[in-house]
Amino acid sequence: MNFIDLKRQYQAYRKEIDQAVLGVMDSTHFILGQEVEALERELSGFTGAPFAVGVSSGTDGLLLSLMALGAEKDTVIITTPFSFFATAEAIMLLGAEPAFCDIERESFNLDPHLLEDRINELEGLGKKVLGVIVVSIYGQCADMDAINRISKKRGLFVIEDACQSLGASYKGRMSGNLSLLSVTSFFPSKPLGCFGDGGMVFSQDEHLFEKIKAMRIHGDRGRYDHRYLGLNARLDAIQAAVLRAKLRHFEEEITLRQEASDRYMDLLSPLERKGMIGLPHIKKGCRSVFAQFTIRILEEDRDQVARALSELGIPTAIHYPRPLPLLEPLKRYGFRKGEFLVAEEAARQVLSLPMHAFIEEREQEEVARALFKVLDK
Ligand SMILES: *Cc1c(COP(=O)(O)O)cnc(C)c1O
């Protein structure tokens, strides 16, 4: 059994994808160009975000967004302690300082109730807080209305790190169009993945869109008119062609993911009732794309459970074993254990189960049987 089965997906759309890729090879137009522009239009339509810029990865998308918004030395960006490292890394690469706001136990997302106090605390120390990066972890959006409201009141920008949540919705609006800027990733294992690295930045603001579009190509507004410092962070045409072929099946895949998650919920609910695990909690008004189906192991040692499952042929993953503030490159800020209790507890308990649009019922039953065997002795 595979944790994510990309082979099945490729087999299902092989003809369309191969044809699209061959088309790019025939055109010999390999970087940006028509395929990328078409993908930008299609994903702008899909998310409802007025502007979209194809970039080389989610990480580069975060970096470009922060650069465009002026993150630099002596500025502070608030984010969640419970995410993939790239969220904090992008802030730090620009010389800005990362600050953290603990998560909600239910959704694993940044807790808006803690945000204002954190802003007050940082500003009280004389720090210049610029904005907030909110991560839609596991494919479910955070409480964006509350976070946008507080941020607006305090003059802070909001970036949604939507690297796991393309296709998710929040109160009827799509992830990618819930804040000023939003960044998604097309890393192969993400809900919409390409055949290498890729990403997209969505913008609600035309000026920022133009700036980021220039910044992805060395700040060039055309014909070597370099207006800004930028990066080489372009999306390849082959990746865009693969993504366009897959995008035609994306809604269908989201439905399949939803069905798979419902099935896990049914199969595993007896273990939750016995207090042995915690199942994902999707908030009212939210549609998760289940980038991950992540449970909590409540009584047993999570790492031992993962090993026992592996011995039974069930692959699992841990997203993520350590909260960001406690990782090595953040040592210099002096964050301590106990500062982000909810994130620390999550890091000890979470376990992601095999999840993708092509998972079969019998495989999910096998996962459930193995979990019962390991936990409910
Ligand atoms: C995957 C991911 C990223 C980085 O995306 P890449 O395309 O791999 O650079 C950033 N943030 C989160 C939350 C992610 O899951």
Task: Summarize pLDDT for 31-56 with one digit per residue, the tens.
Answer: 999 999 999 999 999 999 999 999 99
10 Å CB burial of residue 376 (0-12, 13-18, 19+) is exposed
Percent share of the chain, pLDDT over 70? 100
156-211 pLDDT, tens digit each? 999 999 999 999 999 999 999 999 999 999 999 999 999 999 999 999 999 999 99
**Of all protein residues, whose CA lies closest to atom 10 belonging to ligand 1?**
86
Helices vs strands, H then E, count in the chain: 12, 13
> Comparing C-alpha atoms, which of 101, 109, 104 is closest to residue 131?
101
CB of 187 closer than 6 angstroms to any ligand 1 atom: yes
CA distances 96 to 87, 93, 99, 127, 175, Å, are 12, 7, 10, 11, 26
Q: What is the pLDDT of residue 187?
A: 98
270-322 pLDDT, tens digit each? 999 999 999 999 999 999 999 999 999 999 999 999 999 999 999 999 999 99
**Mean pLDDT value across residues 59-79:** 98
First and final C-alpha spacing in the chain: 23
**Mean pLDDT value across residues 212-233:** 96
With the most atoms of ligand 1 within 8 angstroms of its CB, the residue from 60, 140, 187 to mutate is 187
Q: What is the pLDDT of residue 287?
A: 97
Does 377 score more than 90 pLDDT?
no
Asked if residue 80 lies in contact with residue 134, where contact means CB atoms within 8 angstroms, the answer is: yes
Q: What is the position in ligand 1's atom list of the atom closest to the CA of 136?
A: 13
Q: What is the position in ligand 1's atom list of the atom closest to the CA of 57?
A: 7
Mean pLDDT score of the chain = 97
CB of 57 closer than 6 angstroms to any ligand 1 atom: yes
84-97 pLDDT, tens digit each? 999 999 999 999 99
Categorize the per-residue pLDDT at 14 as very low, low, confident or very high, splitting at 50, 70 and 90: very high
Q: What is the pLDDT of residue 376?
A: 86
Ligand 1 centroid to 276 CA: how many Å? Answer: 30
Ligand 1 centroid to 62 CA: how many Å? Answer: 9
> What does the DSSP assignment read for 55-90?
ES-HHHHHHHHHHHTT--TT-EEEE-SSS-THHHHH
